[in-house]
Amino acid sequence: TLTAPAPFADETSCQCQAPHEKLTIAQARLGTPVDRPVRVYADGIFDLFHSGHARALMQAKTLFPNSYLLVGVCSDDLTHKFKGFTVMNETERYEALRHCRYVDEVIRDAPWTLTPEFLEKHKIDFVAHDDIPYSSAGSDDVYKHIKEAGMFVPTQRTEGISTSDIITRIVRDYDVYARRNLQRGYTAKELNVSFINEKKYRFQNQVDKMKEKVKNVEEKSKEFVYKVEEKSHDLIQKWEEKSREFIGNFLELFGPDGAWKQMFQERSGRMLQAFSPRQSPNSSPTRGRSPSRSPSPPWVFNKASPPSSPKAASASLSSMSEGDEDEK
C-alpha cells in the first residue's frame, strides 16, 4: 500500500546496486534479472496533470513483469523555450507526478533531449513514449536515436483528453470562468479583467441568480401541483370505493330483496292479523241466525209514499180502526 509520494531522484541514491547490464526487450518480457527490476523512463511536461497522463504512465509501468518507473519532468525554462508557457509552474508539476500511483521516482529538471550520459547516470533500460514522431529543438523526432538503439517502447495515447484540449475549453468559456471566479471573491485585477467587463460579469451573475430563483420556484410549483394531483387522485379513488360500498349496503338493506322489505312484510302481516282476526267457524250457533227486526208499529207512516188524497187518508184511518177492533 502506498503511504508516501514518490521520491525525487536527486534526494535518493539509485536502488540498482548490481552492475548495469544492457537488456533487450525480449529478455525484459521473458523475465527480469533476479537482482533488479527493469528501469523504464518516461518524460514530459505534464501540465494540468490529467487522466491521459496517468494512463500513459500506467502503460509504462506495466510494460514488463517487474519494472521501476522513473519520470522526468522538464523545468519551466526549457518548457517555455521549446514549447510555450504553462498553466502550472514546475514545482506544481513535480508534485503532481509524485502523487501518481504508478510513479516510483521523479527526476526534476529533466533534459529536453536524452543523452547517453543521462541514460547511464540513471541506469535506464528503456524509454516509454507514444510512437508519434515528436519534432522539437530542430529535430524531426527527439526520440529517433533512442529508437535506433532499441531502447524505445511505445505507449498508446488517450483520445479525447490532453492539456491543449483543457486550455481550449478554458479559452472558449473564458467569460463563464471569469464570472465564476468573480463570484467566488477574486478581484478583477487578479483575473486581469477590465472595469467595464467586471461590471458586465457581475450584472450577468445577478441575472443568472434571478433565473435560478425563477427556475426553483417553477420546479417547486410543479412538485406542488404533482402532489395535489396525486392526493386528489387518491381521494377520488377512496371516494369511489366508499360510494360503491355505500350503494351496496343501501341495496342490501332497501333493495327488492333487501332486509328492510322482509322486515316490513313481517310487520305488515302482524298488523293485519291484529286488526282483522280470523272468522269464526261455520258451526257456530250464531252463524244461522238472522238479526231480529222489531215490527214497525202500525201508526208509523211511510214517509216515502204519503196519501195522495183525503179519501185515501180516511180509508186508511178506517182500516186502522178496524184492525184495532179485531185485536180487541
Contact 126, 40 (CB under 8 A): yes
Residues 6+ apart with CB under 8 A from 287: 280
- 3-class secondary structure for the chain? CCCCCCCEHHHCCCCCCCCCCCCCHHHHHHCCCCCCCEEEEEEECCCCCCHHHHHHHHHHHCCCCCEEEEEEECCHHHHHHHCCCCCCCHHHHHHHHHCCCCCCEEEECCCCCCCHHHHHHCCCCEEEEECCCCCECCECCCCHHHHHCCCEEEECCCCCCCHHHHHHHHHHCHHHHHHHHHHCCCCHHHHCCCHHHHHHHHHHHHHHHHHHHHHHHHHHHHHHHHHHHHHHHHHHHHHHHHHHHHHHHHHHHHCCCCHHHHHHHHHHHHHHHHHCCCCCCCCCCCCCCCCCCCCCCCCCCCCCCCCCCHHHHHHHHHHHHHHHHHHC
Out of 257, 291, 320, pick the residue that ends a domain: 257
69 beta partners: 40
Q: From CA 67, how far away is CA 28, in angstroms rounded?
A: 9
Domains of the chain: total: 2
Ordered strands of the 152-155 beta sheet: 105-108, 67-73, 38-44, 126-130, 152-155
CB 73 within 8 A of CB 108: yes
Q: Do both 123 and 242 map to the same domain?
A: no
* Residue 7 grid cell: 521520491
Q: What CATH number should be reported for the domain holding residue 31?
A: 3.40.50.620
The angle subtended at Cα 212 by Cα 211 and Cα 217, nearest 5°, is: 100
* Same domain flag for 165 and 144: no
For residue 244, is it within any domain?
yes
- Total residue count of the chain as it appears in this document: 328
pLDDT for the residue numbered 235: 80
Cell of 159: 483520445
Same domain, 40 and 107: yes
Same domain, 149 and 240: no
- Range of the structural domain that residue 139 is part of: 23-153
Same domain for 41 and 69, yes or no, is: yes
Quick one: pLDDT at residue 304?
Answer: 47
Q: Report the pLDDT value the prediction gives residue 301, as an integer from 0 to 100.
A: 46
Instruction: Give the residue from 55, 70, 68 showing the smallest Cα distance to 155.
Output: 55
Query: 114 in a domain, yes or no?
Result: yes
Residues 136, 30 within the same domain: yes
Domain C-terminal end among 133, 153, 173: 153
From first to last of the 328 residues of the chain, give the pLDDT tens digit.
577 888 898 887 555 554 567 777 877 877 656 567 899 999 999 999 999 999 999 999 999 988 999 999 999 999 999 989 999 999 999 999 999 999 999 999 999 999 999 999 999 999 999 998 888 767 788 999 999 999 999 999 999 999 999 999 999 998 888 888 888 888 988 888 888 888 888 888 788 888 888 888 888 888 888 788 777 777 888 887 778 777 777 777 766 766 666 777 777 777 777 776 665 555 555 544 544 455 555 444 444 445 555 555 455 545 554 555 444 4
Q: Is residue 273 part of a domain?
A: no
pLDDT reported for residue 39 = 92
Q: Which of 207, 238, 257 is the last residue of a domain?
A: 257
Cell numbers placing 308: 195522495
pTM over 0.75: no
41, β-bridge pairs:
70, 127
